[in-house]
């Protein structure tokens, strides 16, 4: 299968996920500024989740520049990732409505943890398909951010039961870490390495 069909499908699903998240932001019942300010936790949870979805879209775009064709295992690994990402709007809405509550904050951490695990699975499947001289493996290098992120999400989910603000800071920290432009794939492409398998 051509990878362009898969990436177009991912683009569509992520667009729907973002649309669902923004539709969950209901306007205030009152017409005053205080009514609007009261919704800041909902807005902040949306912003953080939007950033996460954008990070996944950006990295997916880069990864699949190194994939010529996809097979069934890559398709299912990709669907596994999309399944977990599709739950982000639910977790976003719940933590936005109950920003200082431990269980919604922990669930939000789990909603961030599971796509990171699914991402690792997809990455592993692609590398296995590409073989020993995998362009993706060369581009990833040690992949420190990818290895650290799940543990930070897990720590944030556990910390939510002690201090929700500290858990939220951990979630924000991972997002900020991934916002730093990642040029590994672009560097490999610029060096003229072969694409795909």
Closest CA to 62 of 146, 158, 131, 133: 146
In this prediction the pTM is: 0.89
Q: Examine residue 167 and state whether it is found in any structural domain, yes or no.
A: yes
Instruction: State the residue range of the domain holding 52.
Output: 3-190
In a domain, 156, yes or no: yes
Asked, for residue 196, whether it belongs to a domain, the answer is no
Confirm whether 195 is domain-assigned: no
List pLDDT tens digits, range 5-42. 999 999 999 999 999 999 988 888 888 888 888 889 99
Both tokens assigned to 190: 């610029």
Q: State the pLDDT at residue 11.
A: 97
Query: Residue 161 pLDDT more than 90?
Result: yes
Q: Where are the alpha helices (DSSP H) in 98-181?
A: 102-130, 135-140, 144-159, 164-179
| pLDDT attached to residue 10 | 97
Q: Are 66 and 136 in contact (CB under 8 A)?
A: yes
Domains identified in the chain, total number: 1
Task: Give the least confident one: 67-76, 115-124, 133-142.
Answer: 133-142
Those residues whose C-beta lies under 8 Å from the C-beta of residue 75, and which sit 6 or more positions away, are 1, 6
- In a domain, residue 197? The reply is no
Rounded CA gap, 11 and 14, in Å? Answer: 5
Write out pLDDT tens, residues 82-117.
999 999 999 999 999 998 899 999 999 999 999 999
């Amino acid at each position: 299968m051509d990878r362009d069909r898969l990436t177009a499908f991912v683009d569509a699903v992520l667009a729907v996920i973002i649309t669902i998240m923004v539709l969950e932001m209901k306007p205030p019942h009152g017409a005053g500024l205080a009514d609007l300010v009261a919704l800041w936790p909902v807005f902040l949870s949306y912003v953080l989740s939007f950033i996460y979805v954008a990070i996944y879209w950006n990295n997916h775009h880069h990864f699949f520049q190194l994939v010529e064709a996809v097979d069934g295992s890559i398709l299912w690994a990709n669907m596994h990732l999309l399944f977990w990402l599709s739950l982000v709007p639910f977790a976003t809405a719940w933590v936005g409505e109950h920003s200082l509550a431990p269980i919604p904050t922990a669930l939000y951490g789990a909603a961030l943890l599971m796509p990171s695990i699914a991402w690792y699975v997809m990455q592993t499947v692609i590398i296995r398909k590409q073989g020993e001289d995998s362009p993706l493996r060369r581009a990833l290098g040690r992949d420190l951010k990818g290895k650290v992120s799940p543990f930070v999400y897990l720590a944030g989910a556990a910390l939510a039961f002690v201090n929700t603000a500290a858990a939220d800071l951990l979630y924000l920290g991972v997002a900020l870490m991934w916002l730093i432009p990642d040029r590994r794939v672009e560097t490999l492409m610029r060096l003229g390495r072969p694409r795909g398998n």
